[in-house]
Amino acid sequence: MKTPAAVAYPDIDGFVLETVEIEDPRSDEVMVEIAAVGLCHTDLVFKTGAGNYPLPAVLGHEGAGTVVKVGSAVTKVSIGDRVAMTFRSCGHCDHCVEGQPAYCRTMPVLNYAGRRIDGTSALKTEEGTVSSNFFGQSSFAGHALCYERNLIPIPDDFPFALAAPLGCGIQTGVGGITRALHPPAGSAILITGGGSVGLSAVAGAVISGCAQIILVEPFEARRSLGSDLGATITIDPISVQDLSREVRAHAPMGVDFAFDTTGVPAVQQSCLQCLGAKGVFGFVGVAPPGTPVPGEANTIMTLGQTIRGIIEGDSDPDAFIPELIDHYYSGRLPIDRLVKTYPFDEINMAIADQHNGKCVKPVLTFNHNN
């Protein structure tokens, strides 16, 4: 069948809107009619070719919508189910069995290869094959093929536009704090970057009971929203000459935890300088290829510090996404304050608005009645 899509081409700025042909689901696949899809920085990283993803491609990995077709081997969902979509995992390796599917042994081939396991793609245009299967979904399209492992049923009254960013950005931010770093109540934490991941991390720090939550973010509106969400201190990095000195003015012994969402090497280096003894630095921001691990080896050893990378907030989506929805209903995670919706055909405008700080989390929506 044919469906609209935003296609990423090499050497073309932005996404090209066109119609693609999508195959019917195979026995282990599910077709979802996309109602909303989040725009994530990771999509833009892969669009530039930095992730070595084969272009042209349909990207998108924060889809939400309604199941319209199911393969013969699918038992988890049925036609008509409302679902959120997340990363794909195998379900069989040791990490998946232990409840750590974000570190699935086959994560790269299942999420970043641009093809099914047998080397085929589910998408094509009149010009030829287009890479698919991005995060097991490629949801920058009116319809997407995915799998049981990366589908999470959602309540009937939960808006698709809020469900979409749960699949990556929100679970990365909240989970990066509550599941990966797991700070004890009363801790001091530094969060660098106030986009959707960073502001979700602020909410996660509040949920964890952190006493001091320091948010570093250049856009004033995002700092203000961070304060509303529970940040106790906000810092404009543009207005300070030495970030570590500014942070230590509020936390003289250094923070217990630091969480970087920017991927900027200089910011990551500053995070290490803000850590106290036994401090833990976690990072989720995508740094330029070849970026060395920040810090000075002897200092890290002497202070007993830890540096760790975090993917998808250490999430087990089947358990964690329903938990995030509960946090929303209880008022602890006001996703609606982060999201701004755009019609799908305004994807390039949404990218520009996010870059310029006019929105925190753009979510693209479809009107399938047109």
Which CATH number characterizes residue 208's domain? 3.40.50.720
Average pLDDT over residues 297-313: 97
Q: Is residue 324 situated within a structural domain?
A: no
Task: Give tens-digit pLDDT for 135-183.
Answer: 999 999 999 999 999 999 999 999 999 999 999 999 999 999 999 999 9
Structure tokens, 129: 């094959």
Does residue 280 contact residue 306 with C-beta atoms inside 8 Å?
yes
Asked if residue 13 and residue 121 are part of one domain, the reply reads: yes
The CA distance from 2 to 328, in Å, is 35
Mean per-residue pLDDT for 103-114? 96
pTM: 0.96
Peptide bond just before 334 cis, omega within 30 deg: no
Same domain, 157 and 185: no
CATH number of the domain residue 91 falls in = 3.90.180.10
Residues 43 and 24 in one domain: yes
- Is 71 in the same domain as 155? yes
Q: How many residues does the chain have?
A: 370
Same domain, 52 and 113: yes
Q: Do residues 195 and 96 share a domain?
A: no
**With 80 as the cut, is the pLDDT of residue 29 above it?**
yes
Split into its structural domains, the chain has a count of: 2
Alpha carbon 268 to its chain's center: 19
Least confident of 15-29, 40-54, 71-85: 40-54
Q: Does residue 250 share a domain with residue 223?
A: yes
Domain extent for 55: 2-167+338-365
234 Cβ neighbours under 8 A, 6+ residues apart: 214, 215, 216, 217, 223, 224, 226, 227
Tell me the H-state helices in 116-264.
160-163, 169-175, 196-208, 220-229, 243-250
Cα separation, 210 vs 194, whole angstroms: 17
Task: Determine which of 256-270, 281-295, 339-353 has the lowest per-residue pLDDT on average.
Answer: 281-295
Across the chain, mean pLDDT equals 96
In a domain, 74, yes or no: yes
For residue 330, being part of any structural domain is answered with: no
Across 13-17, 47-51, 125-129, least confident range: 47-51
CB atoms within 10 A of CB 366: 21
Same domain? For 23 and 141 the reply is yes
Give a yes or no: residue 316 inside a domain: no
Could you tell me if residue 78 is inside a domain?
yes
Task: Write out pLDDT tens, residues 16-25.
Answer: 999 999 999 9
Same-domain status, 139 and 237: no
Instruction: Examine the pLDDT at 279 and tell me if it is beyond 70.
Output: yes
Three-class secondary structure of residue 188 per DSSP: strand
Please choose, from the candidates 310, 349, 367, 370, the residue with its C-alpha nearest in 3D space to the C-alpha of residue 39: 349
- Cα 166 from Cα 153, distance rounded (Å): 12
Do residues 194 and 225 touch, judged by C-beta distance below 8 A? yes
- Assess whether 162 and 186 both reside in one domain: no
Count the alpha carbons within 13 Å of 85 in the hemisphere toward its beta carbon.
33
CA angle (133 as vertex; 42, 83 as ends), nearest 5: 85
User: pLDDT tens for residues 113-139?
Assistant: 999 999 999 999 988 999 999 999 999
- Is residue 49 pLDDT above 90, yes or no? no
The residue out of 290, 309, 328 marking a domain boundary is 309
Residue 354 lies in a domain: yes
